[in-house]
């Protein structure tokens, strides 16, 4: 683990932010300027109903968290994260940081957030 | 007493000082680690609350941003999102990491970095995949909806800023969680294994040394007694010798009795000796 | 003159237009939609309108992105129905209505070509009204130059490209500048078509509409280029010049405006824009863009007041477009729980 942390600390470096989610959320973040396509690889995935499979999402998640070394933060909408929940909850690395963000079309449910679950458990807040 | 769970050591004064020093070190280390664990925990508790709060704030910001984008699409047309997606080239917004030190634990901290919106031509885009100038989205919505596009860009940047702060907190959370676990493991190891072991060893050495001391004392007494006995024996022998010589001396004057003096004399010698033994002061006479 | 001949070839279609106009959602229907709690409720409400067949196959829950696509399908089918029975010069007039979409599509394709994207993947993202014949050959196109030589030259927009965008510009000018250059050329050409080649009542009806459209673009381009590195010469080059638009003097002032107050000063000379600017300033919850939409709807509505002209076709499709915008806006507000903003929609027929 120390190795993954020190990855961020060794040298001052700039990291990309990657995003996985519905079209509007992704578009918005791209508009903000996080989009990157250098080397032909995109750092975002638009999840479309019907045409994006769970495997596509899992692939993108693995690509952003493991395969690519230039990603510092991965933003993933909750509905996308729910489709690959096992990967997200097993993910314990500090770098890159994985953040669950609300999905546009569904209300945000903090109870499903992997990190928040850990936080709440540690704070002793039990859900309902 | 046997050496059960203790450190393998030869019970000696030197070992005693050594173990004492090590026990002291372990106790000091324990106290310090305990302090570190407490410091981390204080930070950690604060962090948990902050994460919960910021997560809510981020969600609100993102909701605003999404709605701003909706307004931009209303004004500029649905086509906007395709243009934005297809224009992606180089990230102008990235994050950098710096390390913060909390009680000796390195915590990565993210910070948003904005790059120049228009990549200058001098920057030298590699090969034909450049066109940074042709495709940056500064002018998106120029003919209609530009202000709404700009507003939603700002809103998403604000949301992103908040999420970058959240990412720092969350990373700290994971690193601190791990660090606290390690520290607690060390504290527990010191508290429940290392320190008791040293204490036991110490007790063992002390008891061993006591034992040695008692043995020494006993041996000393023994030797003393034996020496005393030997002395007495020697004294007694010396007295007997003197007595014998005295008897011999008397016998020289009683030559007649010399013949049977050996038999009768010995009886008298025994008496004399007995007398001298009881009162050695008389013997030299 | 037109009263004698118009109905011979175009009377049927004009009547159809006026019939379809009756199906444009009314204020009470908007009110019903505003009461909805979910996008599914909106689907239920729309089931009572002639959008029903377009929505029935969408999976639950109805997503706003799907709503856009389905509602647009309806406009496309209306358009195809009209276009297929149109005679010249109405057919040409109708074709001109598709050019703005074609410009957007071409700009998207140029963007993809600059990014080395597989252009055939982008066809799904193109607006269906802006499809053109060369679309089928896109898979063999790789570079912007090829796109220009093999595709663009065969589109009706080729002449606009010749006038204002060279092959070299494709990879050097910002894509939004190209888009606005093309749109300027289109608008000027369209105004010319109405005024000169068609003329008559159509010219009378279309003049204020296109004039406003041009003025609105000039104002928007000015406002949106403030604070960017777009030079004033570049800005002025994007201004469409059509009759009945802003006075030359105002346009000149706008071309030189440095900040928003300067724009306000310039627009003070135009009664229409001054009023719109003022209303947007007075109502913080409304943007200038909202005022533009509202004023445009008002102008388009007036196009139905006269008979024997093509303006109704333009007006009908523009109004439908506004209707889609309205519905999507309502659906977004409801889906995103931003009900406070429901009132932004423009009622089309009181």
**Domain range list for chain B:** 13-211, 253-285
Chain C CB contacts of A104 below 8 Å: 335-336
- At residue B98, the pLDDT reads 85
Q: pLDDT-derived band of residue B129, with 50, 70 and 90 as boundaries?
A: very low
Say whether residue B166 is in contact with chain A using an 8 A CB cutoff: yes
Apex A99 CA angle, A95 and A103, nearest 5: 155
Residue B140 has pLDDT above 90, yes or no: no
- At residue A128, the pLDDT reads 37
- The winner for highest mean pLDDT among A84-93, B107-116, C147-156 is A84-93
Q: How far is A70 from chain B (nearest CA, A)?
A: 10
Average pLDDT over residues B66-75: 93
Answer yes or no: do A40 and C116 touch at CB < 8 A. yes
Peptide bond into B181 cis (omega under 30): no
Residue B130 has pLDDT above 50, yes or no: no
Q: What is the rounded CA–CA span in Å between residue C36 and residue A70?
A: 45
Say whether residue B139 is in contact with chain A using an 8 A CB cutoff: no
Q: Which fold has domain C1-85+310-350?
A: Topoisomerase I; Chain A, domain 4 (1.10.132)
Of A37, A49, A105, the CB nearest to C335: A105
More confident site: B78 or B278: B78
Contact C140, C147 (CB under 8 A): no
- At residue B43, the pLDDT reads 85
List the single residue in C with minimal CA-CA distance to B121.
C172
Picking from C209, C238, C207, C208, the residue whose alpha carbon sits closest to that of residue C222 is C238
Q: How far is A81 from chain B (nearest CA, A)?
A: 16
Say whether residue B66 is in contact with chain C using an 8 A CB cutoff: yes
Apex A16 CA angle, C142 and B170, nearest 5: 150
**pTM (predicted TM-score):** 0.83
Residue B81 has pLDDT above 50, yes or no: yes
- At residue B112, the pLDDT reads 87
Q: Average per-residue pLDDT in chain A?
A: 82
What DSSP designation does C63 have? Answer: P
Residue A122 has pLDDT above 80, yes or no: no
Q: Which CATH architecture has domain B13-211?
A: Orthogonal Bundle (1.10)
| Chains in contact with C, counting 3 or more C-beta pairs less than 8 Å apart as contact | A, B
Residue A100 has pLDDT above 70, yes or no: yes
Show Cβ contacts of residue A99 under 8 Å, excluding neighbours closer than 6 positions: A73, A74, A75, A76, A115, B163, B166, B167, B170
Show Cβ contacts of residue B146 under 8 Å, excluding neighbours closer than 6 positions: B76, B139, B140, C220, C223, C224
Question: Tens-digit pLDDT profile for chain C (350 aa)?
Answer: 566 778 778 888 888 888 888 888 888 999 999 999 999 999 999 998 889 999 988 888 888 888 999 999 999 999 999 999 998 889 999 999 999 999 999 989 888 888 877 888 888 889 999 988 877 777 777 788 888 888 888 888 888 988 887 777 777 788 888 999 999 999 999 999 999 988 888 999 999 999 999 999 999 999 999 888 888 998 999 999 998 888 999 999 999 999 989 999 999 999 999 999 999 989 888 889 999 999 999 999 998 888 888 999 999 999 999 999 999 999 999 998 888 898 888 888 76
Average pLDDT over residues A61-86: 92
Structure tokens at B253: 């004057």
Q: How far is A52 from chain C (nearest CA, A)?
A: 15
- Cβ-Cβ pairs closer than 8 A, B with C, add up to 114
- At residue C218, the pLDDT reads 94
Domain segments of chain C as ranges: 1-85+310-350, 90-198, 208-304
Apex B15 CA angle, B12 and B16, nearest 5: 85
The alpha carbons of chain B give a radius of gyration, in whole angstroms, of: 50
Q: How far is B27 from chain A (nearest CA, A)?
A: 27
Structure tokens at C280: 């947007």
Q: What is the rounded CA–CA span in Å between residue C63 and residue B264?
A: 144
- At residue B268, the pLDDT reads 57
Show Cβ contacts of residue C222 under 8 Å, excluding neighbours closer than 6 positions: C235, C254, C255, C257, C263
Buried b (16+ CB within 10 A) or exposed e, B176-212: bbbbbebbbebbeebbeebbebbebbbebbeebeeee
More confident site: A107 or B57: B57
List the single residue in C with minimal CA-CA distance to B134.
C174
More confident site: B195 or C135: B195
- At residue C53, the pLDDT reads 92
- Terminal Cα-to-Cα distance of chain C (whole angstroms): 33
Of A40, A105, A107, the CB nearest to C63: A105
Alpha-helical segments (H) within chain A? 2-9, 23-32, 54-62, 78-83, 85-90, 114-123
Tens of pLDDT, residue by residue over B203-237, are 989 998 999 999 999 999 999 999 999 999 999 99
């Amino acid at each position: 683990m120390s190795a993954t942390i020190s990855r961020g600390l060794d040298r001052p470096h700039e990291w990309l932010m990657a995003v996985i989610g519905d079209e509007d959320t992704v578009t918005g973040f791209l508009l903000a300027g996080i989009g990157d396509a250098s080397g032909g690889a995109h750092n975002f995935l638009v999840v479309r109903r019907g045409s994006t499979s769970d495997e596509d999402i899992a692939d993108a998640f693995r690509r952003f968290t493991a395969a690519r070394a230039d990603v510092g933060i991965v933003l993933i909408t909750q509905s996308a994260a729910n489709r690959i929940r096992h990967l997200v909850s097993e993910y314990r690395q500090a770098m890159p940081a994985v953040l669950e963000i609300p999905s546009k079309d569904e209300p945000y449910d903090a109870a499903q957030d992997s990190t928040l679950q850990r936080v709440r458990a540690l704070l002793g807040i039990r859900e309902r | 007493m046997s050496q059960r769970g203790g450190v393998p050591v030869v019970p000696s004064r030197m070992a005693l000082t050594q173990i004492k020093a090590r026990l002291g070190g372990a106790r000091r280390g324990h106290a310090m680690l305990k302090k570190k664990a407490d410091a981390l925990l204080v930070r950690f508790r604060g962090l948990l609350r902050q994460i919960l709060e910021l997560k809510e704030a981020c969600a609100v910001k993102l909701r605003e941003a999404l709605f701003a984008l909706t307004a931009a699409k209303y004004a500029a047309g649905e086509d906007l999102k395709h243009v934005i997606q297809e224009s992606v080239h180089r990230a102008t917004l990235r994050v950098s990491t710096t390390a913060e030190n909390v009680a000796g634990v390195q915590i990565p901290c993210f910070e948003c970095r904005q790059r120049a919106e228009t990549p200058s031509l001098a920057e030298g885009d590699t090969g034909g995949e450049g066109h940074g100038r042709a495709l940056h989205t500064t002018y998106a919505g120029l003919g209609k909806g530009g202000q709404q596009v700009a507003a939603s860009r700002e809103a998403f940047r604000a949301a992103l800023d908040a999420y970058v702060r959240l990412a720092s907190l969350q990373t700290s959370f994971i690193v601190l969680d791990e660090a606290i676990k390690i520290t607690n493991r060390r504290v527990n190891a010191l508290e429940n294994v290392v320190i008791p072991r040293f204490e036991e060893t110490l007790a063992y050495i002390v008891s061993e040394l006591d034992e040695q001391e008692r043995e020494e004392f006993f041996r000393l007494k023994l030797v003393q007694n034996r020496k005393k006995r030997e002395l007495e024996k020697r004294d007694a022998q010396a007295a007997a010798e003197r007595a014998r010589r005295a008897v011999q001396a008397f016998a020289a004057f009683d030559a007649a009795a010399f013949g049977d003096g050996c038999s009768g004399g010995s009886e008298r010698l025994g008496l004399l000796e007995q007398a001298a033994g009881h009162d050695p002061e008389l013997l030299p006479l | 003159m037109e009263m004698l001949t118009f109905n011979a070839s175009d009377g049927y279609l004009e009547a159809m237009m006026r019939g379809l106009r009756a199906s444009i959602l009314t204020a009470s229907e908007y009110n019903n939609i505003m009461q909805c709690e979910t996008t599914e409720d909106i689907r239920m409400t729309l089931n009572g309108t002639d959008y029903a067949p377009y929505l029935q196959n969408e999976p639950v829950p109805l997503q706003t992105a799907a709503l856009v696509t389905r509602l647009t399908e309806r406009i496309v089918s209306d358009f195809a129905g009209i276009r297929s029975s149109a005679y010249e010069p109405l057919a040409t007039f109708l074709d001109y209505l598709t050019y703005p979409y074609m410009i957007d599509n071409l700009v998207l394709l140029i963007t993809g070509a600059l990014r080395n994207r597989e252009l055939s993947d982008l066809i799904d993202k193109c607006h269906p009204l802006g499809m053109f014949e060369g679309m089928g050959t896109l898979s063999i196109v790789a570079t912007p130059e090829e796109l220009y030589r093999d595709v663009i030259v065969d589109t009706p927009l080729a002449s606009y490209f010749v006038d204002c965008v060279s092959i070299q510009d494709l990879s050097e000018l910002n894509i939004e500048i190209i888009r606005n250059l093309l749109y300027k050329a289109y608008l000027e050409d369209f105004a010319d078509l109405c005024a000169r080649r068609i003329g008559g009542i159509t010219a009378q009806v279309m003049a204020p509409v296109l004039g406003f459209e041009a003025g609105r673009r000039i104002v928007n381009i000015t406002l949106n280029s403030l604070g960017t590195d777009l030079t004033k010469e570049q800005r002025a080059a994007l201004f469409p010049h059509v009759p009945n638009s802003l006075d030359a003097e105002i346009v000149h002032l706008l071309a030189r405006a440095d900040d928003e107050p300067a724009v306000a000063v310039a627009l003070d000379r135009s009664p229409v824009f001054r009023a719109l600017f003022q209303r947007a300033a007075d109502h913080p919850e409304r943007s200038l863009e909202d005022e533009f939409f509202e004023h445009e709807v008002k102008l388009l509505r007036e196009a139905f007041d006269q008979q024997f002209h093509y303006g109704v076709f333009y007006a009908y499709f523009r109004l439908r477009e506004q209707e889609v915008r309205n519905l999507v806006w309502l659906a977004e507000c409801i889906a995103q729980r931003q009900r406070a903003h429901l009132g932004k929609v423009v009622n089309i027929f009181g």
